[in-house]
Amino acid sequence: MFTLSWQPPYDWQWMLDFLAARAVAGVETVTATDYTRSFACEGHRGLIRVTPDLQACALQVTLSEGLLPVADLCLERISRLFDLDCDPQQVLETLGDLGEARPGLRLPGSMDAFEQGVRAILGQLVSVSMAAKLAGRVAAQYDEPLAQTDYVCFPTPAALAQADPMALKALGMPVKRAESLIHLAQSAVAGQFPAQTPSDIESAMKALQTRPGIGRWTANYFALRGWQAKDVFLPDDYLIKQRFAGMTPAQIRRYATRWQPWRSYALLHIWYTEGWTPSVDGEIAGIE
């Protein structure tokens, strides 16, 4: 067993609920107390189970035997998924009143950028639960079961790069979306998809939007989770436009500059703080 620590406060109930709503059948299992998933890394495959110890502010991590040779990489990915390196006090100082309702909110990352890219594309124009179901169907179709378990690993780029668009369509997605997944996989195989957080997030998000089937919202959401970019805001998001009723995207973008460099956290707080509304001030006046 391995131990990873975090700085309190940490809203574990919210994090586990967030992951549970998006859990991919066959890949992830989330309960009220822990998170278990399959994982493949550098040719090694196995299961990861994490359980938060709230008193010790530590995450207890169990790796199956197959992942022990890449334990350090697994722990690094787990830390990214659960945003364990976050300094919540630093974030809260910038967010001010916005962070008061949920001071322990963290930014859910991902275990693998390519996997998150696939899941972001599958999530276009469908509900959260349907996106998870589609991802589960893709995983079941394009990966082999882990020995002596009921789990499969998420498909590799090489597996999806060879997929037939019509076979993917049969799983319940439009052909264009299937083609977008295949193109993403092919670019990952070719080494043209940034698996690590780019130094210039804005340019990288614009580059993503040149790929088939990836628009601005998908690119931004992927950056938020796949690269765990800390300073991304989505002024065109449906719920954000509701929260900022009567304001244009330009005005919303201007308003959000007060939360730099932690706009990703601000976005989550606005999404998950029922009834939140922006304050009336002079900062947005005159913006077209």
* Catalytic residue annotation: 237
Quick check: helix, strand or coil at residue 42?
coil
Cα distances from 55 to residues 4, 5, 52, 129, 213, in angstroms, run 13, 11, 9, 32, 45
Give the closest residue to 120 by CA, choosing from 5, 257, 234, 286.
234
- Strand ranges in the chain using DSSP code E only, listed in sequence order: 2-5, 28-30, 35-41, 44-53, 58-63
Radius of gyration of the chain (CA): 19
Query: At 255, which amino acid appears?
Result: Y
DSSP 10: -
How many other C-beta atoms can be found within 10 angstroms of the C-beta atom of residue 44? 18
Cα torsion angle, 123, 126, 127, 131, sign: negative
Q: At what angle do helices 128-142 and 12-21 cross, to 10 degrees?
A: 60
> 98: which residues sit within 8 A by CB, 6+ positions away?
259, 266, 269, 270, 273, 276
